[in-house]
Chains A and B, each alone.
Chain A
Amino acid sequence: MANENKNNSSYRVYIFVFFSLLLLALSFWVIWDDEFGLRPWKKYQGEYKALKHEQLDREYRKAVVEFQRSGGHKRLAELEARLEKAEAFFQSKENKEKFSQLTAEFDAVHQNVARNQKELQNARGQFLETEYYFTKTQKPEYKTKMDELQRQIDAISLRGSTLQKKEDALKSSLSALTAGTAGLRAEIAKMKSGLEEKLEKIANNDKVPVEIKQVHIKDIDKADRCQSCHIGIDGKRQVSRVQPFTRHPASFVYIDHHDPSKFGCTFCHRGQGRATTSVAKAHGKVKHFDEPMLDGDMTQTSCLNCHGDIKGLRGAEQIVNSTELIKKYGCYSCHKIPGYETVGDVGPVLTEVGTKVNYSWAVKWLLDPKKYFSTARMPKFFFTQDQAESIADYLFSMSGTTRHDVDYSGAEPDAKLVEQGKALWSQARCNLCHTTGGRGGNHIKVYAPDLSKVGSKVNKEWLFRWIKDPNAYFPGTKMPRFRFTDAEINSLVEYITSEYLDDEAEAKYAQPVEIKAASITKGKDLIQKYGCYGCHKLQGMEEMVQIAPSLKRQGVSFLRKDEMREKIGTELSSIGSKPLEMLDFGKLKKSIPNDRLSYLKQKLRDPRGYRLGLRMPDFRLSESEVNELSAVLYGFTDANVPVRFMVPSRQELDRMAGVTGYKFTGDFAKVIADVKCTNCHSIRGIGADYAPDLSIAGSKLQEGWIRNFLANPDVIRPLLQQMPKLGLSLGKPAAKITMPKFNLGKQNVEDTNKSDVDVVINFFQQELVTSDIPKEIPVITTMTLPDQINRGKMLYDNKGCRSCHQIGMDGGALGPNLSNVGNRLLPGYIFKHLENARKFKPDIVEPNYGFSERERIYLSNFLMTLKLNTK
């Protein structure tokens, strides 16, 4: 028994020892792991320090070499030799004795001065005390004591001043004695200081502590620690191009305007900013983390968090481009999206569509718009033939028409009219907006329909009415009213209906057929189900957009009550931060990655793929469009944004200030409503950025030139428009721009006797002026005008203006042609423009030469002489 016990216990001891050792080893591992294994940033910061040390060291050595190459070391050696000599001289017995004697004297006097100072303080203190007693008791003995003390004070201060003089004298003779060496020493220190500064930098770098670098945005309690590894992200200089040590790319946009110590990184980049234990965790690219880090162009989606208006925002080019897709396809028609509340209907008015198009065409179009035109924006709803006919029946019945087709393919056109129409077509530059068989359509953002098959779609009567007054059929259309005469319109209609025909068109209902009531009801139901009224104005469905009562926060802007509409589709205002578990992956759960971005992309690729019963139509987006659109949607978040980060849009600012936005008034408003200047031009923040901003046109352009230009619009800068803007812009090169010829001035504006051109000019001169721009060039009386012009010409030649600007046949074509600038621009504008070109056009490429005022006057006077002879 005892024996067995003993064996047993020794066996247990081994187990005990084994586990003890295991525990010990584990403890050490825990300590090691906590110090290093879970703190990879320590390694990175160490490496960064080493790299920076290397860089600084290299610079230091380079500076040393430079110093020696420039003979600095020789000069230093010389100075040192002189210093030595001077010191040796100073060390001579005579001097030394004198120095020590002077020093001793100085010390003695200095002590006396100090003692005297103390005495003075003491006496003053006593005086104050006595004065206090005197004022309190009014006893005469205090008065006598005060007088005595005052005498004492005077005596002491007198003594003090003599002592001080003596001290100063001694000091100056002492410094005279050491002046030679002191001057040399200062000079040597100055020579060395540049190098020493560099050494100090190295030492400072070595002293930088290795620690977690955390940014905390207090108002929203958001913290990130990205810069613990990305230690050089906001550095002034690139230390290494290797991650994580690099600087932020394009830091002059992103970092300079978003100080990382205030914004942190995750505010824009998302990711798991608190994580410091591994790269994958910090970047949020781990399972169950819903906000993976955004990189590259995807990061621009975060611009939408704070910037209410991203139009023209530097560094946001990609997202600006992508956002255009929302307007293009009219996502806001079915989905509630903040910022798009006031954008008009994306589709044309359908209230009288029966008087416009052929029935067969309507059915064909409803079945598959993209099949009819590859560029069609209307999506496919997967209607059956029967359903499509029902919808067409409803639309046609609402217009009070029957099923009918008009076929022009067999008709014999009037050749002369067609010829006239063709000339008019190119003269009016219809192709600027409308494509025909792949040609034209440079101004893509107005989304004008392709006209290559229009002759088989619409009837002549309608086309005539349309061209004569587009607003009458479709209030708010982008189509301008050209000032054509009825005869001109006739020729144009003849040309269009004979030239642009569809070979595949069929005219089944050449004989009109009555519409059945059952079909109309069915069509109405379908229209209501699929929400056609979202994009098109339909008779009897105007009130289908209901007003929702709640006032919910929407991204950066606050919606007013009347803007809150119940839309047919899911609200998209915070789709980019919708919790993953709220997204219905349905039957695709296993086949696509389980993240938000993949969900959005798949939804756009196959809108009805997740489950049965979905109503969203198929837009047949290209893969690049899918990527862009999903990126925008990803940016619609309900992210918590500190108010101080927000950059409200112009309208938002106006609303906050209680100002209603700029509105055109008077006759000019009528011209605008007709000619739609703001389709291309921007005036006081209204309109597009396709053509030059006209907000200060009245201070800029000469009346005569405007008249000429409106009569015969031509390009001002032929080359620039074909080039990408320098700098950050990544946009595609814009196509050559010309303005359509509206024939302004041929007719008078409604209800008035004024011609259009007079109205435009009047408006420009009354409204579009700024007090920043003087009317005239300041006059110099000391020099004759021809002299000034000569000087201006010399400046023009010397500063290399001709490398971009053209005068006559001479010069580059990057800037505007200046051959006729004296007729085009107002002198005061030229003068002001030369001072700071960016003031009026922020993204202009013209360099700022920093001309003096006189130089600007010379140049302006010279430029004003550049005039072409016009008849």
Chain B
Amino acid sequence: MKRLPEITDKVKKNLIWKSIFRRDYRNTIRDRAQAVFGNVFLHLHPVQVRESAVKLRFTWGMGGITFFAFIILVITGVVLMFYYHPSVDQAYTDIKDLEFQVPYGVILRNLHRWGAHFMVIVVMIHMFRVFMTGSYKAPRQFNWGIGVFLLVLTFLLSFTGYLTPWDQLGFWAITVGTNMGAATPFLGYQGPFSEFLHITPYNDIRFALLGGAQVGGNALLRSYIWHCVAIPLVSIILMFVHFWRVRKDGGISKPQK
């Protein structure tokens, strides 16, 4: 054990280490702040927070847990994409094969599925907490707005992901869901006032969602791309804005004393 300092010296006093970490770390306030400033991921985060603000019984940690669930979903989702073809012939059997054949496919898929349910629940609890603690009030109105968008995006992720197994459940859920779209005023062919815009089943909002007049191969492909590319991309961007604004709007809200 005497050698330990020597070894750490060897590890630390070379170009590679220095190029990565740039400077030595001492447990001082300045260095702690530097660690946050110098890290691309952490610098979104405020350098300092009030101790009272991180009390679990006030924030419930729900925002962070939501983000954690999102990370899990991204990782498992990417791996799942290796085993999945968004085509009518293959989608369902691919899902079945995840259960029957793919190594660790069961836990992979279940992590993704339960993680998704978890995220939806947690994000709603997060919003509930924010509302109940009044954290949406000035100066955080804008971030509340971003949060509302993120909530919708989370729901949309959940909705589009529901069709991907191409089973009866998903098929009918999307059928029902998009039929609701068909009843949108102006934009849906069954909705009020749509006749003024010459909306038919072949040019309305439902058609845009499904890529056709009924749930089929195009709908599957569309929901796959929304689910795996478009919505996550937008979500990530909005999340960064969200986190940035938490810091800029005065940090996590704290109990009023």
Contacts and interface: CB of A to CB of B under 8 A. Distances in A.
B96 A275 contact: yes
B175 interface: no
B176 to A, nearest CB: 14
B106 A38 contact: yes
Contact of A276 (B101, B103, B104, B168): B101
Contact of A212 (B101, B104, B106): B101
Contacts of A223: 93
Interface in A1-57: 30, 33-34, 38
Contact of A274 (B93, B106, B168): B93
Contacts of B106: 33-34, 38
Contacts of B107: 30, 34
B100, B104, B106 — most chain A CB neighbours (10 Å)? B100
A221 interface: yes
Interface string A266-290: 0000001011110001000000100
B32 to A, nearest CB: 18
Given A34-B106, A221-B89, A275 B100 contact: yes
B99 interface: yes
Nearest to B104: A34
B97 interface: yes
A633 B176 CA distance: 33
A34 B103 contact: yes
A225 B96 CA distance: 13
Contacts of A221: 89
Nearest to A275: B100
A212 B102 CA distance: 12
A503 interface: no
Nearest to B96: A274
A274 B104 contact: no
B154 to A, nearest CB: 26
Interface residues of A, number: 16
Contacts of A581: 168
B242 to A, nearest CB: 28
B89 A276 contact: no
A274 B97 contact: yes
A275 B104 CA distance: 15
A272 B95 CA distance: 13
Interface in B86-130: 89, 93, 96-97, 99-101, 103-104, 106-107
B48 to A, nearest CB: 18
A30 B104 contact: yes
A171 B104 CA distance: 64
A669 B99 CA distance: 64
Interface string B170-183: 00000000000000
Contact of B99 (A30, A33, A277): A277
A581 B168 CA distance: 10
B99 to A, nearest CB: 7
Contacts of B89: 221
Contact of B100 (A30, A33, A276, A288): A276
A581 B171 CA distance: 13
B100 A277 contact: yes
Contacts of B101: 212, 225, 274, 276
B100 A274 contact: yes
Contacts of A276: 100-101
A223 B100 CA distance: 13
A281 B100 CA distance: 10
A487 to B, nearest CB: 73
A276 B101 CA distance: 7
A833 B106 CA distance: 64
B167 to A, nearest CB: 9
A848 B108 CA distance: 63
A659 B154 CA distance: 65
B54 to A, nearest CB: 13
Contacts of B99: 275, 277
Nearest to A580: B168
A276 B100 CA distance: 5
A212 B107 CA distance: 20
A284 B100 CA distance: 13
Interface string B208-252: 000000000000000000000000000000000000000000000
Nearest to A214: B101
B12 to A, nearest CB: 28
A499 B89 CA distance: 68
Contacts of B97: 274
A498 B144 CA distance: 100
Contacts of A272: 96
Interface string A193-219: 000000000000000000010000000
Interface in A286-344: 288
A726 to B, nearest CB: 44
B105 to A, nearest CB: 8
A250 B97 CA distance: 32
Contacts of A30: 104, 107
A221 B97 CA distance: 14
Contacts of A274: 93, 96-97, 100-101
Interface string A390-430: 00000000000000000000000000000000000000000
A281 to B, nearest CB: 8
A469 B168 CA distance: 60
A366 to B, nearest CB: 45
B124 to A, nearest CB: 24
Nearest to A277: B100
B214 to A, nearest CB: 15
Contacts of A277: 99-100
Nearest to A38: B106
Contacts of B96: 272, 274-275
Nearest to A29: B107
A591 to B, nearest CB: 23
Nearest to A290: B168
Contacts of A275: 96, 99-100
A293 to B, nearest CB: 16
Contacts of B93: 223, 274
Interface string B142-177: 000000000000000000000000001000000000
A288 B99 CA distance: 16
B93, B96, B101, B106 — most chain A CB neighbours (10 Å)? B101
B93 to A, nearest CB: 6
A23 to B, nearest CB: 13
A277 B99 CA distance: 8
Interface in A223-238: 223, 225
A532 to B, nearest CB: 39
Contacts of A281: 100
A272 B100 CA distance: 11
Interface string A703-731: 00000000000000000000000000000
B172 to A, nearest CB: 9
B97 to A, nearest CB: 6
Nearest to B103: A34
Interface string A766-795: 000000000000000000000000000000
A281 B97 CA distance: 13
Interface string A741-767: 000000000000000000000000000
22 contacts: A30-B104, A30-B107, A34-B103, A34-B104, A34-B107, A38-B106, A223-B93, A225-B100, A225-B101, A272-B96, A274-B93, A274-B96, A274-B97, A274-B100, A275-B96, A275-B99, A275-B100, A276-B101, A277-B100, A281-B100, A288-B168, A581-B168
Given A274-B101, A275-B99, A275-B100, 16 more contacts: A30-B104, A30-B107, A33-B106, A34-B103, A34-B107, A38-B106, A212-B101, A221-B89, A274-B93, A274-B96, A274-B100, A275-B96, A276-B100, A276-B101, A277-B100, A281-B100
Interface of B: 89, 93, 96-97, 99-101, 103-104, 106-107, 168
Interface of A: 30, 33-34, 38, 212, 221, 223, 225, 272, 274-277, 281, 288, 581
Q: Which 4 A-B pairs have the closest CB atoms?
A: A276-B100, A275-B100, A30-B107, A274-B96
